[in-house]
Chain A
């Protein structure tokens, strides 16, 4: 097993906010099974804030912990603040990730941002 921090192990063992929001305001997917990790984020937006963030993840211990951490970090934030969350910050919040996991498994912020972009696109259409 890779050397994971306590925080990573905690999120891997007890991942928060797993699931899929029904009739979500935005959906963001990243990765594919070939590279080993895949994440699907769904968000609910109310008054410009992320009222709810859920995800499904196919992937290693790091990928699952990253998804869980991103959902925690993003929940309750404004759209603008949520867009400022970076993959690097997520890794830092998790007490670091093994070097070889930084690239492939650390895609949570990207998936979240995609979900927000999707929400914004939908807003434009509705407007």
Chain B
């Protein structure tokens, strides 16, 4: 049986070059970068190089990169660290309503602690309106956090415009670029953001590798206190192999920032066209153009996502869904709800993410299988039969 992964946003295999770069740092150069003796030298140099490569990917300086384990951690360091480090001139924070839970859940906690939080609405494609950001800013605003692109619907925000508003008002601006880094060109000097989170495992680096860009001069406090690793902003012995891997993945992503995403986006567009041509009652979620190259998010009307996921799994196709049944919390996607997707369509949503190794041959197979699965589940769906009856009735009138 075929095995086609369309859930690369959940996990992707490492690039061969990435794993090869990492291997020497498990046994050969196992030393602690903080050691004063010779064993610390190679690992220390390797981390410095990784920092350079990650910095280059986003147009930053190496000294502005703080390594973390995950983008969730980077988001936590960005928000909590900034609040703890900054002068308390206010208590108001602005974010978008479609941020990752590692931003939203922090804001919920901060709200309980007395902070005022404004969650900006997004339009039906998931885009934040700069005018709405402008009017949400008050004298009390101390932080704005808006993601560069959404991992679920792929929508890319006008970050430069949004960050400019923050700059004009001298408010620190954080952007969660975990889904975007490595896939679209990012330049922190051009956009002027103060804090940016990114994750190595989202561009073929290892899990457990991530970073926070902290613009020089930004006052921060660490979440994890201890030694003075990572400029004192993140104590603990460095995960050398993971950081080396992230550096190598960043180099590969930077070197191919034109070709690789374009190749995947072309395939994604072919897949989209094929699905919409062959299967009736599909809906596209997210922006038709302003979206991440590997992201496709659709809703299959009249059916539920977990059943789709399980049936596709049986056919060797791996996808994810924003349905409530597929979430541990049994809540359907807050992102789909924010862009106005109905409860029923959110239940039938599928997130399909492609890969550099996805092939055009797969598209025919995927389309055929999804067409079959959709038909099978629709034939047992009360919503579909209701629609068919009403459709026929309307046709008679």
Whether B332 pairs with A1 at a CB distance below 8 angstroms is: no
B181 at interface by CB-CB < 8 Å: no
Chain B residues whose CB sits within 8 angstroms of the CB of A110 once the complex forms: none
Chain A residues whose CB sits within 8 angstroms of the CB of B379 once the complex forms: 18
Count of A-B residue pairs with CB < 8 Å: 77
Whether A58 pairs with B382 at a CB distance below 8 angstroms is: yes
12 contacts between A and B (CB under 8 A): A1-B310, A2-B306, A13-B314, A29-B382, A33-B342, A36-B347, A37-B304, A56-B380, A56-B385, A58-B303, A60-B305, A60-B323
B303-328 near A? 1/0 per residue, CB < 8 Å: 11111011001100000000111101
Which residues of B are interface residues toward A (Cβ below 8 A)? 302-307, 309-310, 313-314, 323-326, 328, 330, 332, 342-344, 347, 379-383, 385
Q: How far is the CB of A67 from chain B (nearest CB, A)?
A: 8
Q: Specify which of B304, B309, B343 is in contact with A1 (CB 8 Å cutoff).
A: B309
Q: Specify which of A1, A59, A100 is in contact with B330 (CB 8 Å cutoff).
A: A100
Q: How far is the CB of B314 from chain A (nearest CB, A)?
A: 7
A113 at interface by CB-CB < 8 Å: no
Interface of B is mostly: helix
Whether A33 pairs with B325 at a CB distance below 8 angstroms is: no
Chain A residues whose CB sits within 8 angstroms of the CB of B310 once the complex forms: 1, 12, 61
Alpha-carbon separation in the docked complex, A64 to B323 (Å): 15
Q: How far is the CB of A42 from chain B (nearest CB, A)?
A: 10
Within 8 A of B (CB), among A32-55: 32-40, 55
Chain A residues whose CB sits within 8 angstroms of the CB of B325 once the complex forms: 36-37, 59-63, 101, 104-105
Q: How far is the CB of B363 from chain A (nearest CB, A)?
A: 24
Chain B residues whose CB sits within 8 angstroms of the CB of A15 once the complex forms: 380
Whether A61 pairs with B307 at a CB distance below 8 angstroms is: yes
Chain B residues whose CB sits within 8 angstroms of the CB of A55 once the complex forms: 380
Whether B380 pairs with A104 at a CB distance below 8 angstroms is: no
Give the nearest-CB partner of B325 in chain A: A60
Give the nearest-CB partner of B306 in chain A: A60
Q: Specify which of A12, A33, A36, A105 is in contact with B383 (CB 8 Å cutoff).
A: A33
- Given A58-B383, A60-B306, A61-B306 in contact, is the A34-B343 Cβ separation under 8 Å? yes
A1-45 near B? 1/0 per residue, CB < 8 Å: 110000000001101001010000000010011111111100000
Whether B324 pairs with A59 at a CB distance below 8 angstroms is: no
Chain B residues whose CB sits within 8 angstroms of the CB of A106 once the complex forms: none
Q: Specify which of A32, A34, A57, A61 is in contact with B380 (CB 8 Å cutoff).
A: A57
Give the nearest-CB partner of A32 in chain B: B343
Chain B residues whose CB sits within 8 angstroms of the CB of A37 once the complex forms: 304, 325
Whether B306 pairs with A58 at a CB distance below 8 angstroms is: no
- Given A58-B304, A100-B330 in contact, is the A38-B382 Cβ separation under 8 Å? yes
Q: Specify which of B302, B304, B344 is in contact with A60 (CB 8 Å cutoff).
A: B304
A54-94 near B? 1/0 per residue, CB < 8 Å: 01111111111000000000000000000000000000000
Whether B347 pairs with A33 at a CB distance below 8 angstroms is: yes
Whether B309 pairs with A64 at a CB distance below 8 angstroms is: no
Q: How far is the CB of B199 from chain A (nearest CB, A)?
A: 24
Whether A38 pairs with B324 at a CB distance below 8 angstroms is: no
